[in-house]
Structure 1
Amino acid sequence: MRLGNPGRRLNAALIAMAFVLSLFAGRLIQLQGLDSKVLQAKAAQQRVQPEILPARRGSITDVGGHDLAVTADAREIYVDPADVTPDKRDLIASTLAVELNLPKESIAAKLAKTTQRYIVVARNIDPPRAKKIMAYGFKGVGSKATYRRMYPGDSLAGGLIGFVGFDGHGLTGIEQSYDKTLAGQDGKQSVEIGGDGQRIPMTRTSRQAPVPGRGVRLTIDRDIQWAAQESIARQVKATKARSGSVVVLDVKTGQIVAMANAPEVDLNDWQSTPEQDWSNRAVSEVFEPGSTNKVITAAGAIEAGAVNDDTVFRVPDHITCADREIRDAHPHKPEPLTFTGIIAESSNVGTILAARQISDQKLYQMFQSFGFGAKSGAGVPGEEEGLLPAYQNWSGSQRCTIAYGQGISVTALQMASVYQTIANGGVRVTPSIVAGTTDERGKFVPAPAPKQTRVVSQETARQIAGMLEAAVGHDGTGVEAAIPGYRVAGKTGTAMRYDEKCKGYCGYTATFVGFTPADAPRLVALAVIQDPKNGHYGGEVAAPVFKDVMTFALKSRKIPPTGTKAPRVVLQAGR
């Protein structure tokens, strides 16, 4: 038997070993030389974990600094299914279900997703409860520091304030429109984490501190806002109406003192509120104003020098406009009404007769001057412009109906602004909702003064104010708005309501708007109720809401009666 050459076998073995070693050497050169920077970056990426440090959101307050929206410390409970052993899943699911008041099945389903490393189980948990959960010592269950948005008033000014989503950013209302101011700027930090998920001691960390959000102070008064919401909600329910709104303005400053809606969204449980009730109807819902619009027609006619408050018209109960016959609310024989009597008794026919004294263009320009067809400038989120058709496009009947408030559309805020202008001696002050913000040091910074524009002369405003005071008098349509001891000026409105559901006019819009004291105006209030079923006239449905809200506001603001008596006015010639 012949043996192999041992030298040859040794050479073969050495060649094989050299080849393997060359492979190792090549790989080592690649790892430590050619690819070292790339691999170092990947290692650092796996080891160094970035973390967002959320900024505390700024508060929203009322004009007196009372909190309407605040931010509180909270915790987010999460699970890492990959770290939960199968034998512990049922225990963890059962425990978390009890502590968080959640279905056990939903938690168990999350624990079963072993390919995911971070699944949120619950948000906005109070820190003490989160601490109790963490005390169980369950591996794979964690707690993360976050913030929770809270609304002390629940539904107070809900449509106006709005709410934030799960990401902490505003979804509606002031929360959305002032999101950049309120949100601040999140910070960042990075820490080195070992394979067991724990921080490596003595390792370097980097941290960029978050910048807290700034506060926003609104012009609304918390107490008057509450009274307005209570009153409109009560009346909407009593009349079985679809919805309603109230706006209260300060005559001199144009500040929005209250802006209430019914129904109103509960900000602490907005997910349970129908989406159609999230909006601020006082600025988003447009409607035909009806007779409250007659003051603009009156202003146009008086400004043009065509009439004055004691001009007498022979007013029948119906009038022909192109192809339509338009009637007053109640039949009557032809009456010798003064212009004051026409407004006080809310005669459609008399208003049309006055409107015929001026051109369509002048009437249209007066509407524009009072702010129709454009946003009010208040900066209220969700505000609509309304509808003001160009006068060149008015039909034969429309030039009559527009004079008494049908054929144009406005928001509650736009109409309240009209009466603020009259109450302020003919000077329109652009409405405002934000009184100011806080700066980086927490110091209050007032908002710029609103724009003031003269719309009509002081004399025209005085005459119209007298007409409106007569409308709340014994023979007027607004007697239900009278407040004992105070002189009140105001106007009712009852308009046919256009509804998309019936593709035409079905139902009514009932309105009352006015100011007091009539001879030294301080506050304007408007109440509008959409599609009431128990009654539909503005004088019977909306005027009582005005009275309730204004009475409360006068007491809250400590506004005394002037002690004067309303002058005697003539509604019919010869009386």
Structure 2
Amino acid sequence: MVILLLFAGRLTWIQAFEADTYAEAAANLRMQTKDIPTLRGQITDSEGNPFALSVEVRDVFVDPEEVPEDERDQLIDELVTRFDLEEEAVAGKVDAKPSRYQVVAKEVPPGDWQEFQDLGLSGVGADVDYERVYPEETGAADLVGFVGAEGHGLEGLEGYLDSTLAGEAGKHQVEVGQDGTQIPMLNGLVRKPEAGQDVRLTLDRDLQWYAQQALADRVEELEAEAGSVVVSNKEGEILAMADFPTYSQTDIASSEPEDRSNGAVASTFEPGSTNKVITLAAALEEGKTTPETVYTVPYSLQYYDQTFRNSTDNGTQRLTTNGIMAQSSNVGTIKIADQVGAPVLHRYMTGFGLGQPTGLALPGEEAGVLTDPDDWWGTQLPSVSIGHGLSVNAVQMASVYATVANGGVRVEPSLVSGTVDPEGEFTAAEEPDRQRVISEETAERLQLMLEAVTSDEGTAPEARIDGYRVAGKTGTANRIDPETGRYDEGGYTATFAGFAPADDPELVVQVVLHNPQDTYYGGEAAGPVFNDIMSFALKSYEVPPTDQEAPALRLVEDEDEDADG
């Protein structure tokens, strides 16, 4: 009896003094806050052509309590037929009383939903949502990446720029019934959704597609393991970044991680002879040599315990610095490197951007390896001078040649032009860092030397383009076998880097082929890809043909002339 009196007293107290508090707590248990989807920003090229965009869709639901019995069969039939659904699953949701909310179809195009709605059937509705769409055949999957099931960026630019693209979902309150049904509330809006910003890239969509196709064709033709292409202007703006192998953004499940890796920044390699441009740049800038300085260049050179050789045995030659570049002489370059010295060469290599991040901050980027000159052992200087004993990525080497094309001023590579807010206002990205690495005079001398590489006397006549003067450099380097850690059986990396027009540079193309079979020399393997892509780019950007012949450079000594080394 005493216990009953205590309970009765407590109940009276609650009803008299705490009723509002308990009522509020009960209401809160019935209320939940639900996200309102927002529009994710687009990723576009420089002209606004989309690489990724979101389109409005509908999530169709039924309210079983509102479906009249005489419309049930027709409703099920129409849902199954129009939205390609399983009849048994739809029937189960239509009959799921006492539920008030059962989603039957997701990502339905608005037009299809409108046609369904025009039937006038009861007990069916739709919520607005957004689907991420990737246009076919852009050739940019490895760069752009994709979003996950929840709409958040997972890889590539979609992941890296997620906070910019995502916007902020809205919030509204729903009342949750005893069966878990969510019932939207009138005046339940907590926060309006805020659309994400579009990201405008420096890329050219047509050039991106063409570069991807040209690269894929050559990789498959030569049965290479992989390849990358970077196209930029001389100011370091990336116009195309292609990679192979690649994948379909509409079929992520069938892809492997290596298919989705952006090899242009994630794959490092020894640059081989493309690195010689830095060695000669340092020597010219430091006054250690001139374009016409003559060197005695034997086929091989003993350096401590290692023998360095030229790629072709032409005996002992008397080559100018021009000729050493044109013929890609390893021995000649090593002699010039000895004049420069390790600390100075290392300083120029870092000045050109090697051994450090590109500045693009792309997911998976590898900065490569460039050891401190204090750690260079006996044969490290000659090895590094000809592009061995260090590693780079494709964007880094493209930047080296863009620097030469830009008169010696290195502009940090850039990929994002800016953002566009939901009102259409464009905000430009921060200006990239600029730094003079070599003088304009040295750059002009290098431009002429690199042009000689594409002459009949050079190593890459395959890179020439009718009507244009072309400058560039081949590269062929051994690859380390990842299983043994040795060069034996590792294959080769074939590269070509260059710019055009050589007399007034505008465009830069870097081609990398990893382990091509049969044909692996840079000029023969990568040169044709450079030619193909550069030809397309020059026409696309309506670059006028060259109206002057290239000056004749002296590649070998004149008779009765003394050599310097």
TM-score normalised per structure 2: 0.88
The equivalent of 1:518 in structure 2 is 502
The equivalent of 1:327 in structure 2 is 309
Q: Distance in 2 between matches of 1:309 and 1:445?
A: 45
Q: Distance in 1 between matches of 2:274 and 2:254?
A: 36
The equivalent of 1:277 in structure 2 is 259
The equivalent of 1:11 in structure 2 is none
Q: Distance in 1 between matches of 2:53 and 2:451?
A: 43
In the TM superposition, residue 288 of structure 1 has moved relative to its aligned partner by 0.5
In the TM superposition, residue 264 of structure 1 has moved relative to its aligned partner by 2.0
Report percent identity of matched pairs. 44
Q: 1:138 to 1:404 in 2, by over 3 A?
A: farther
SS in 1 for 2:480: strand
Q: Distance in 2 between matches of 1:77 and 1:503?
A: 57
Structure 2 regions of 5+ residues with no counterpart? 68-73, 560-565
The equivalent of 2:451 in structure 1 is 469
Q: Distance in 2 between matches of 1:416 and 1:355?
A: 22
Selected match of 1:217 from 190, 194, 200? 200
SS in 2 for 1:267: coil
Q: Deviations over 1:290-323 (max 9, x none)?
A: 0000000001111121111111111111111221
TM-score normalised per structure 1: 0.87
Q: Distance in 1 between matches of 2:64 and 2:214?
A: 52
The equivalent of 1:166 in structure 2 is 149
Contact 2:219 2:226 in 1 (8 A): yes
The equivalent of 1:454 in structure 2 is 436
In the TM superposition, residue 183 of structure 1 has moved relative to its aligned partner by 0.6
The equivalent of 1:177 in structure 2 is 160
Selected match of 1:492 from 465, 474, 480? 474
The equivalent of 1:533 in structure 2 is 517
Q: Does structure 1 residue 559 correspond to structure 2 residue 543? A: yes
Task: Identify the range of structure 1 (274-283 vs 481-490) with the bigger mean alpha-carbon deviation.
Answer: 274-283
The equivalent of 2:228 in structure 1 is 245
SS in 2 for 1:504: coil
Q: 1:121 to 1:500 in 2, by over 3 A?
A: farther
Q: 1:213 to 1:330 in 2, by over 3 A?
A: same
Structure 1 regions of 5+ residues with no counterpart? 1-15, 85-90
Selected match of 1:417 from 399, 402, 405? 399
Q: Deviations over 1:215-260 (max 9, x none)?
A: 1100001111111001000000000011111111111x32111111
In the TM superposition, residue 399 of structure 1 has moved relative to its aligned partner by 1.5
Q: Distance in 1 between matches of 2:363 and 2:485?
A: 28
In the TM superposition, residue 145 of structure 1 has moved relative to its aligned partner by 2.8
Contact 1:265 1:273 in 2 (8 A): yes
Contact 2:101 2:182 in 1 (8 A): no
The equivalent of 2:133 in structure 1 is 150
Computing the radius of gyration from Cα coordinates, the structure with the larger value is 1
In the TM superposition, residue 272 of structure 1 has moved relative to its aligned partner by 2.2
Contact 1:160 1:173 in 2 (8 A): yes
The equivalent of 1:434 in structure 2 is 416
In the TM superposition, residue 49 of structure 1 has moved relative to its aligned partner by 3.5
User: What letter corresponds to residue 296 of structure 2 in structure 1?
Assistant: R
SS in 1 for 2:152: coil
Q: Report matched runs for 1:3-152 at 5 Å.
A: 22=5, 25-26=8-9, 28-29=11-12, 31-33=14-16, 36-76=19-59, 123-127=106-110, 144-152=127-135
Contact 1:155 1:266 in 2 (8 A): no
Q: Distance in 1 between matches of 2:350 and 2:553?
A: 30
The equivalent of 2:562 in structure 1 is none
Q: Distance in 2 between matches of 1:262 and 1:233?
A: 6
Contact 2:268 2:392 in 1 (8 A): yes
Q: 1:393 to 1:189 in 2, by over 3 A?
A: same
User: What letter corresponds to residue 228 of structure 1 in structure 2?
Assistant: A
In the TM superposition, residue 449 of structure 1 has moved relative to its aligned partner by 2.4
Q: Distance in 2 between matches of 1:105 and 1:573?
A: 88
Q: Between Structure 1 and Structure 2, how many residues are aligned?
A: 551
Contact 1:154 1:266 in 2 (8 A): no
In the TM superposition, residue 174 of structure 1 has moved relative to its aligned partner by 1.4
Q: Deviations over 1:392-413 (max 9, x none)?
A: 1112122211110011000100
Contact 1:480 1:547 in 2 (8 A): yes
User: What letter corresponds to residue 527 of structure 1 in structure 2?
Assistant: V
Q: 1:565 to 1:96 in 2, by over 3 A?
A: same
Q: Deviations over 1:364-395 (max 9, x none)?
A: 11101101111122344432211101111112
Task: Identify the range of structure 1 (121-130 vs 212-221) with the bigger mean alpha-carbon deviation.
Answer: 121-130
Selected match of 1:384 from 366, 375, 386? 366
Q: Deviations over 1:132-165 (max 9, x none)?
A: 88989899x9854321111114552111111111
Q: Does structure 1 residue 483 correspond to structure 2 residue 465? A: yes
Q: Distance in 1 between matches of 2:192 and 2:182?
A: 22
Q: Distance in 1 between matches of 2:141 and 2:174?
A: 41
Contact 1:191 1:204 in 2 (8 A): no
The equivalent of 2:486 in structure 1 is 504
